[in-house]
Structure 1
Amino acid sequence: MLNRPLPLLLTTGGLLGLNFPLGKLAGAAGITPLFWSLLMSAGAGLVLALALWALRDRLPWDRQHLRYYLVTGAVSNALPNLLVFSAMPHLGAGFTSIYLAFSPILTLLLHSILQGRWPSLLGAAGIALGFAGALVIVLSKGGVDSPGGAPVLWLALAFLIPLLLACGNVYRTLAWPAGTSGLALAAGTNLGAAAVLAVLSLLWTGSLSVTAVQAVPGLLLAQIAITAAMFAVFFRLQRVGGPVYLSQIGYVAAAVGLGTGTFVLGEHYGLLTWLGAVVVAVGVLMTTREQQAAGK
């Protein structure tokens, strides 16, 4: 499994998709998106650092690694999570998750421009098909609590989520410090995100109060465990599959977000939403086939 892109993709995307119902429940408990993002990043970073220690690996702290942790933590973790958790009260958990499905095509464009080459016809067609499925879902609006009536500002701001994720996907590969394990980068990225969010929290609220979290300790532990597990697999997928293939976790996460929104949170979606999800699945299978043919 550790060298097979598809199981890594499904595992990472599935774990990522679970963030949406957990984040919505945290918001319902009165925890701000900023502070919830901070706690999940700090907790996951500490868990991954302990795993490194247990494996007798190390967490490098030279200037190159610190820059990587902070940039990756901010672009790939802190800011997207903050936007996700902030948008969910306005758009719904399932509907917000759909925006992740736009990251593959944006990643493909950025990576192709920087590398000066394009993927094979099959790979490009698979990503385009996945994008088309995601577009069908968004245009259908899923029937989730009348998202069409949501403030236009949040509908627009949510598009920053896939853009940030795409930038992070490409940056992580291009700036990956030589000789550093994925687990070490996962720990450092979460700690870097926590540092960025802590500064934002202090500037925004002037404090780091944990009072609200005391009412949902189990929810927080679940969020930390899922985030730590997701990032441990995430960086392995980055190394094995590359940034474009990895970006398709957005498709998987969107499907999981739709499922949990329906069966856990009681949100409702129309037929076009589910047809779009099927199209997304076909697109993932096509790009997986292309990845195997390329020998990755």
Structure 2
Amino acid sequence: MNLTTKRLVLTLLAGSLVGAIFVISKLLLGRGLSPLIVSLIQTAGAAAVLLAVQRARGERLPLDPASRRFYLIAALIAVAGSALLGNWVLARIPAGIFTVVVTLSPMFTSLFNALVERRWPSPTAMLGTGLGLLGVLLVLVPRAKSVEAEQALALTVALGVPVLLAIGNVYRSRYWPSGLSAPMSSAGTMLVQALAVLPLIAVSGQRASVEQLAASWPLLLAMVLVTLSANVAAAALQRIADSVAYSQIGYVIALTGVVWGAVLFGERLGWSFVPALALVFAGVVLANRRVVAAPAAVPANAALPALNGAR
């Protein structure tokens, strides 16, 4: 598998998995679990599984200064984007509407990347980003019109999510520690995320009863496994793609949310889904065509949200 094909496959895989995380989060919040409790179980569970697997393979979590700094900064961005903003918003507006806002992440990533590097992305990358945005808006704008007046504040706050996602995209691409593997990056970042959520839970007083957790264990287990897979796939992608190409997973996330809405909640996909899918796919291909091997600081990989990673 050549590098371009690998990037394309990882983009589709990571985006689909992160989109599933949003849907599972919405289902758990609908059962009365608090956003912070969901985030704690999600990140701590996924980190524990990853660390156990890597330990069984004879590998240990790198704890050199560069890796520790990377875990901390990437995790704090993810916690702010998912545990604090993402889950708060998801508890107040439909998941399908939330994905409309998430699709702004590639645009913000292109802008921030241009500011940091002091140059605009290539025309091919900009065209790919534009096609992807057009595709998701074709499907999601009609759904966004259903937002009620009382949800306006939550929708406004939600704009912070793609901004934080974009900041995370640029940071990880530029400061990925040399030699850090995708699984270890995901494990370290999610471990710090879980630790960062603990004081937030203590201050907020959010709790979950044993009965609530027991009743939701299948969804919680699915959340942990999907989060683990999504973060490893996203981390593997970020190791071989720049921040602009990596951010295209935001468009895949959006369409995945629409598909899951149709599967789980009986929402109609509508006539626009097929052309939207074609536009997003074309955009991802174009954005990845111009990606070159990562710079020396990044071996030739995230965490979402857990948005987690949010994704």
Question: Scaled by the length of structure 1, what TM-score is found?
Answer: 0.89
Do the aligned partners of 2:129 and 2:287 also contact (CA within 8 Å) in 1? Answer: yes
Whole-angstrom distance in 1 between the partners of 2:180 and 2:258: 35
Q: Is 1:199 matched up with 2:208?
A: no
Of the structure 1 ranges 43-52 and 174-183, higher mean CA displacement relative to structure 2 is found in: 174-183
Whole-angstrom distance in 2 between the partners of 1:172 and 1:2: 23
* Aligned length in residues: 292
Query: Aligned match of 1:111 in 104, 110, 113?
Result: 113
Q: CA deviation at 1:14?
A: 0.8
User: 1:184 matched to which residue of 2?
Assistant: 184
Do the aligned partners of 1:42 and 1:191 also contact (CA within 8 Å) in 2? Answer: yes
Instruction: Give the 3 Å change call, closer, same or farther, for CA 238–184 of structure 1 in structure 2.
Output: same
Instruction: Give the 3 Å change call, closer, same or farther, for CA 48–110 of structure 1 in structure 2.
Output: same
Whole-angstrom distance in 2 between the partners of 1:122 and 1:161: 26
Instruction: Give the 3 Å change call, closer, same or farther, for CA 73–181 of structure 1 in structure 2.
Output: same
User: 1:288 matched to which residue of 2?
Assistant: 288
User: 1:126 matched to which residue of 2?
Assistant: 128
User: 2:304 matched to which residue of 1?
Assistant: none
Whole-angstrom distance in 2 between the partners of 1:87 and 1:267: 21
Aligned-CA RMSD value: 2.4
Whole-angstrom distance in 2 between the partners of 1:37 and 1:10: 24
Mapping for residues 126-205 of structure 1, pairs under 5 Å: 126-141=128-143, 146-205=146-205
Instruction: Give the 3 Å change call, closer, same or farther, for CA 271–147 of structure 1 in structure 2.
Output: farther
Whole-angstrom distance in 2 between the partners of 1:165 and 1:195: 20
Q: CA deviation at 1:58?
A: 1.5
One-letter amino acid of the counterpart of residue 183, structure 2: L
Q: Compare the two structures and name the one with the higher helix fraction.
A: 1
Whole-angstrom distance in 2 between the partners of 1:141 and 1:264: 16
User: 1:247 matched to which residue of 2?
Assistant: 247
One-letter amino acid of the counterpart of residue 182, structure 1: A
Alpha-carbon deviations, 1:189-215, whole Å to 9, x = none?
101111111111111117676552121
Do the aligned partners of 2:21 and 2:223 also contact (CA within 8 Å) in 1? Answer: yes
Do the aligned partners of 1:76 and 1:169 also contact (CA within 8 Å) in 2? Answer: no
Whole-angstrom distance in 2 between the partners of 1:203 and 1:211: 23
User: 2:61 matched to which residue of 1?
Assistant: 59
Whole-angstrom distance in 1 between the partners of 2:247 and 2:278: 18
Q: CA deviation at 1:178?
A: 2.0
Alpha-carbon deviations, 1:256-288, whole Å to 9, x = none?
001101221234566567655543333223223
Q: CA deviation at 1:25?
A: 1.3
Do the aligned partners of 1:123 and 1:286 also contact (CA within 8 Å) in 2? Answer: yes
User: 2:95 matched to which residue of 1?
Assistant: 93
Gaps of 5+ in 2: 295-311
Secondary structure, counterpart of 2:33 in structure 1: coil
Do the aligned partners of 1:98 and 1:137 also contact (CA within 8 Å) in 2? Answer: no
One-letter amino acid of the counterpart of residue 247, structure 2: S
Q: CA deviation at 1:134?
A: 3.5
Of the structure 1 ranges 73-82 and 214-223, higher mean CA displacement relative to structure 2 is found in: 73-82
Q: Is 1:15 matched up with 2:37?
A: no
Question: Scaled by the length of structure 2, what TM-score is found?
Answer: 0.85
Runs of 4+ in 1 over 6 A off after TM superposition: none
Whole-angstrom distance in 2 between the partners of 1:235 and 1:106: 20
Whole-angstrom distance in 1 between the partners of 2:264 and 2:2: 30
Q: CA deviation at 1:141?
A: 2.8
Do the aligned partners of 1:137 and 1:272 also contact (CA within 8 Å) in 2? Answer: yes
